[in-house]
Amino acid sequence: MNQSMTPFTDSSVSSTIANATGDVTTITPYERPFGETVTLVMGFILFTFMFLGIVLNAITVAVIVKYDKLRNIFSIFIFSLCLSDMVSALISPLYWYHRTLGFDEWNLPPFLCKVYWSADIMTSFATAMHIVAFGVFRLISVSCPHITAKLQNKVAVLIALQIWIVSFGCGFVPYWIWFGARKRDRYSDSQDARWPACTINMEWYGQYTMFQKIGFSLFLYIPLILVLFISVLTCRRVYATTHASITPVTSKKLQKEKQAVLQLTLIVVSFMMGYLPFTAYEFWSVQDHGNSQYYRLTDYYFGVTEYILLRLSECMNPIFYNLGSSKMRSHTVHFIRELFKLKSNANRSSPSTPSHETGDNNL
């Protein structure tokens, strides 16, 4: 078995040491909280999610770029969300390395450790703010459709760019400063002892814990509360419409609004599935739990589980975009057929959109 994959015991350290007062303290040999099986299973899961995340999000991006009829305010936010998820997928192998082969010693270039943490939190902040913006425009579209009809796509582009600028300045930059790779003292009683080699540098511990309370609240928890509130208002608006007089025109409009609510709901569910466990672990991990084997195992598997859920949610997002929009779904199916030259008895021309839907701000 490869030595780097086996539980690590530092035989160079005696089983007992004497402190400054002459008292003798017994030291429990350090063992990694994982073995070769965990390394292989985690690698299979994360590399599978990386492939799916890149492919599914790339298809969604390509569909939005290819078909003019899909380009509207909502598809611009979805386009930007897909880019965020693709970045997360691309850096996920660095997470696998830092939790397995590089757990005790980071042998990759040190800047890659900073790249992973900085890009990861930047995309997390960007995702949360994009979803809030998406939800706000969804609410406006079902409440005051004449307003969204007048808005130009460049409004959404400018908002998306601002979101990325804020995410870079408030997420990427501080994490680049605070995080780094170094050998951790596995025999101390601090939180540092049970963390991977690539993590927060302890000299920045105070600033980081303060940032968690402020930054996570501003960029993750408040957006989560806002988008839940917006989703409820949107659902109530659509529910009220269903009890109004229905005509052939309003019936079609109502169907679009129901699809809009479904799409928003699925996006919110995916967001909660990924980011609630993520923030819960981040807050838990910096607490002073000691350095027993129990807490090493708890910290390790809690962290791995929340990250897998986060990657799963990002793989599900492109599927949810299509499930919540018949227009996007039909264009995606056509794009895949074109891409692989699949033959069908159905009409293989570009999905048509009735003339009165041109410029429609619904997906």
In a domain, 218, yes or no: yes
d(CA 183, CA 185): 7
The range of the structural domain enclosing residue 82 comes to 56-343
Question: Which CATH number fits the domain that encloses residue 200?
Answer: 1.20.1070.10
In a domain, 105, yes or no: yes
Which residues make Cβ contacts (< 8 Å) with residue 7, sequence separation at least 6?
31, 32, 35
Q: Where are the alpha helices (DSSP H) in 67-198?
A: 73-99, 110-143, 145-150, 153-167, 173-178
Residue 222, CB-side half-sphere exposure with 13 Å CA sphere: 10
In a domain, 263, yes or no: yes
Burial-class residue 150 by CB neighbours within 10 Å (0-12, 13-18, 19+).
Answer: exposed
Q: How many domains does the chain have?
A: 1
- Measured from the Cβ of residue 121, the count of other Cβ atoms closer than 10 Å reads 25
E strands, 188-337, are 198-200
In a domain, 195, yes or no: yes
Residue 13: both structure tokens together = 């350290």
pLDDT digits (tens, 9 = 90+) for 208-259: 999 999 999 999 999 989 988 988 888 888 777 665 555 555 566 667 677 7
pLDDT digits (tens, 9 = 90+) for 45-97: 999 999 999 999 999 999 999 998 888 888 999 999 999 999 999 999 999 99
Percentage of the chain surpassing pLDDT 90? 45
b/e per residue, 320-338, with b = 16+ CB within 10 A? bbbebbebbbbbbbbbeee
In a domain, 18, yes or no: no
Enter the pTM of the model: 0.82
**Residue 7 DSSP class:** P
Say yes or no to pLDDT of 28 above 80: no
The two most distant CA atoms of the chain are separated, in Å, by: 89
In a domain, 240, yes or no: yes
In a domain, 170, yes or no: yes
User: What average pLDDT does the segment 97-107 reach?
Assistant: 93
In a domain, 13, yes or no: no
d(CA 136, CA 156): 12
pLDDT digits (tens, 9 = 90+) for 132-187: 999 898 888 888 777 777 778 889 999 999 999 999 999 999 999 999 999 888 88
